[in-house]
Amino acid sequence: MSTETRKILEQIFTGQMPVKRNNPKPGQSPFYYVAFQSDDNDEEPIAADGADNNGLGESSGDRKTFLPAEGVSGFLPAVPSLTEPMPAGGVPFVAEPYFLQETGQDEREKERKAADAALKALLIGEEGNVPHMYLDTVGDVTYCVGHRSASPEEAARCPWYKEVSGSVERDRTNLADRDRVFQTHRYVQTLPYGQNYGAGTFEDKSDLRLPPDYCLDLLERDLAERRRNLQKTFPNYDKMSPYLQNSLLEVNFNIGNISPEKWPGLYKAAQEKDVESFCKNLHRKTTDSKGKPIANMPKRNAWNLENCLKGRFSD
């Protein structure tokens, strides 16, 4: 059961949210509040109404108080009924409310978690979790899971430590000072880069390292920031399901800004909510400007297409 479901049910069973009566009798309020009243330590759910009822949370007898839904602040007339009976005493049987079934809150949450897990697994697998500074294929200082450093100042805000023993737990307290980070950042920028220079070729160029757990936290922040930017700039982003959003995000993470000038077909497909065209237009070139194959790009394109086609646009 999702956290949101639990909160709603808690509000219902503590009398904070009205429940629609299945078959209201003449003169009855169409909504009632579930209340609990103790009688010889035997707790029983009772309806907040004065008439006999047989719906959820209602019991026969005279242990009832009138509490019309209309008289309570925050009355929600659109709340549907919960149709499963709840036994008197003990732990109440919890039925999934119709309004959660209809909106699919649990399913969307599961889809979001699955889509996010798939994206992070791809990025960590392809980019690596690199604890040292290196240059990516276009010459940007990079570290952790594909995090491009905006400046030496930005890099200096990270908890760099000096590798001595090779043990992260022992060495991470040997924090490097700001000047040392600046010096390393500028030095790495002078090194050769390109398709033939993977992250591993820079490992022995510096003894500064970042803890792996910090790098994973940085990945979460990077993804959150990119999502916010795409939400502001990309058409129908909020109408995309998690798989569509994350396929777009994977390309953005890989190549940076996705402009309408360079990706007109992608923007057109998003505006028209055409899933197949949208997914096909996320395809990236597999060779560089010199015609040389870009490492792993066919694999990333294949992953992106398969992932994207699981998605949909909402109305």
The pair of structure tokens assigned to 308 is 């994207």
This prediction's pTM: 0.67
CA nearest neighbour of 155 among 75, 196, 215: 215
Q: What angle do CA 7, 57, 66 make, to 5 degrees?
A: 100
Q: What are the mean pLDDT values of the chain's consecutive 10-residue runs (315 residues total)?
A: 70 67 66 52 41 40 39 38 39 37 69 96 97 96 97 97 94 96 98 94 97 97 96 94 97 95 97 98 94 93 98 94
Sequence ranges of the domains in the chain = 3-103, 128-224, 234-315
> Phi and psi (nearest 5°) for 62?
-110, 10
- Fill in the amino acid letter for 270: A
**Which tens digits make up the pLDDT trace of 245-260?**
999 999 999 999 999 9
Q: For a pLDDT cut of 90, what percent of the chain falls above it?
A: 63
Residue 106's pLDDT is what?
Answer: 80
Angle at 92 between CA 90 and CA 94, to 5 degrees: 155
**How many angstroms separate the CA atoms of 189 and 198, rounded?**
14
C-beta separation of 199 from 130 below 8 A? yes
pLDDT tens digits, 42-76? 444 434 444 444 434 333 333 333 344 444 444 33
